[in-house]
Structure 1
Amino acid sequence: MVVPVAAALAGGAGAGGLALGWALTTAALTVPALLWRSRRERIFKPVALWGVAAIVLTAALGGVGLATGVLKEYRPPALTPADVVGRWSDGQGGTVTFTADGRVSAVDIDEDLGGRGLPEDTADADGPEGEGTRCSGQGTWTYEPGGGVRSQEVRTTVDACGFAPWSVGGTEDRPTLYQYIGDPDSWDLYVLRRADDGP
């Protein structure tokens, strides 16, 4: 049951959920197979057959769960430019304020998000080298709806900072804007929430 639940949380029937489900199932079957193979050479065929049966059963249960609504596929909320307007906080003293006329103000946002291509002297250091930097500045923003809710972005241009586009996450009641910190495969996120939504 762990495999279909993890696969659904990773994107359900999408490529990410399928890849995660396949990886978890393979890992769950490989370890016992390797342990038993050295003791009994004839165990390989039953393990392979039961492994295929487990994969088929996992896929079937996941499909039934998604079709019946027991498992929900995550979908980010669909925002409009009006939904973006306001003050967003990182919960650590940093804020980004979007105004209806397309202006943005960033205060103490983590520069490690991606000072992409900026000179090193454009950000102020918080402390000793290696502790990270914070960025503040004024600029403009636009909302890009993309091809669907998973590809919508909020693009900010702040001269003193080199932010990548913000992706949309969260729920309808509590949307978030986020960026990956470092490698996207690490799933280490820097998240902004509406300042009045709380932590």
Structure 2
Amino acid sequence: MGTSEAYGPKPVPQPGPDPVPQPAPAVRAGRWSHLATGADLAFMAQLVVAGAVFLATAGMRDDHGTGFAGGALSYAPRVLLLVVLAAYLHWLLFTLPAMALARLLGTARWAAARAAVGAAAVSAPYAWGAAALWDVPFGRSAAWVAGTGLLPVTAAWYARHRFLGWGAMAARIGAVTGIALLLAAFGGFLLERTRWHAYEAPRLDRSRYVGEWTGAGGAYRLRLGEDGAAEAGNLPLAGGHIGVWDSCSGTGTWRFEPQRDSGGPFHRGPRDRVTLTIEGCRFGDWEVAGTADRPELFYVDRDPGGPGGPDVTILHRL
């Protein structure tokens, strides 16, 4: 008998208990700060991209001679601070409660559906409050609330589904945002070069300007007669006169000055103008805006005597 037989067969080792898996930091129970990872970044990104699209499509809207696209860029630093604050408040008041409700609804199965249910449950009271305060239809209010929360909730669900932290989400959202901004810049360049769907002021006959004009909820009044007579009521003055009592009221004359088309295929040239001559009143030419069905006259005071850029007075045809 050999030595190995003398001691008997060797015992077969038994497998020990499986180690308990440790969840990723982003999904540990009780860590509320990880329930909605990346949602604030997604909210900021959608606001920034929406602002870029607004500036890129500025030529499709009437700026009333103020060039609001360029003026908006000067307010960018202050707007960015508001965007960061809005993103944090949205994360705190919308996405975090929505994801908390999603976690309470069950296990890891159907995580996307539970996130959608949680978002809908949070959207409902906000939409009802907005509808009650501002007298807007509930459906429209709910669409706005849910629409602004779609991307943040999706980002939060994606972060928990992939076990991603804040840094990983920042890299992904930053890359997508950068691509969207480049597309918006390229689209704005094409719109500016081609003048596709660019706004053009209406070209109307002189007779279309005869009649009553009003602005500022009826505070400003102007009557243009067929015989060239004009009567102003409480029109604001130009050149730094911005006080509540600095206004123009009186009678005088008006003259219609149509402008030539540029002859180009994408731009029709400067706007038609109406020149008012009223004793004691100081302002330049009123320019045409609006549409052929709803024309407007506006005047830009580029020296309003205070901060905030030029003042624009707009009159609507009655």
TM-score range, shorter chain: 0.5 to 0.7
Within the candidate set 173, 179, 193, 2:316 is matched to: 193
Which residue does 2:55 correspond to in 1?
6
Q: CA deviation at 1:170?
A: 1.3
Aligned length: 156
Q: 1:162 to 1:130 in 2, by over 3 A?
A: closer
Deviation per CA, 1:118-149: give whole Å up to 9, x if none.
xxxxxxxxxxx943312211111111112346
Unpaired segments of 5 or more residues in structure 2? 1-48, 62-66, 78-176, 262-268
1:60 and 2:190 correspond: no
Contact 2:59 / 2:192 at 8 angstroms: preserved in 1?
no
Identity %: 30
Distance in 2 of aligned mates of 1:68 and 1:164:
31
Q: 1:60 to 1:77 in 2, by over 3 A?
A: same
Contact 1:7 / 1:20 at 8 angstroms: preserved in 2?
no
What is the identity, as a one-letter code, of the residue corresponding to 1:147?
Answer: R
Deviation per CA, 1:69-122: give whole Å up to 9, x if none.
9x7311111122111100101234321111111111112222x33489xxxxxx
Distance in 2 of aligned mates of 1:136 and 1:88:
14
Higher strand share: 1
RMSD of aligned alpha carbons: 4.1
Which residue does 1:95 correspond to in 2?
221
Which residue does 1:172 correspond to in 2?
292
The TM-score normalised by the length of structure 2 is 0.39
Contact 2:257 / 2:273 at 8 angstroms: preserved in 1?
yes
Q: CA deviation at 1:8?
A: 2.1
The TM-score normalised by the length of structure 1 is 0.59
Which residue does 1:159 correspond to in 2?
279
Unpaired segments of 5 or more residues in structure 1? 28-49, 117-128
Distance in 1 of aligned mates of 2:69 and 2:54:
11
Which residue does 2:244 correspond to in 1?
131
Q: CA deviation at 1:189?
A: 1.0
Contact 1:8 / 1:72 at 8 angstroms: preserved in 2?
no
Which residue does 1:146 correspond to in 2?
259
Larger Rg computed on CA atoms = 2
Which residue does 2:234 correspond to in 1?
108
Contact 1:142 / 1:154 at 8 angstroms: preserved in 2?
yes
Distance in 2 of aligned mates of 1:20 and 1:131:
26
Q: CA deviation at 1:157?
A: 0.6
Distance in 1 of aligned mates of 2:70 and 2:197:
17
Which residue does 1:78 correspond to in 2?
203
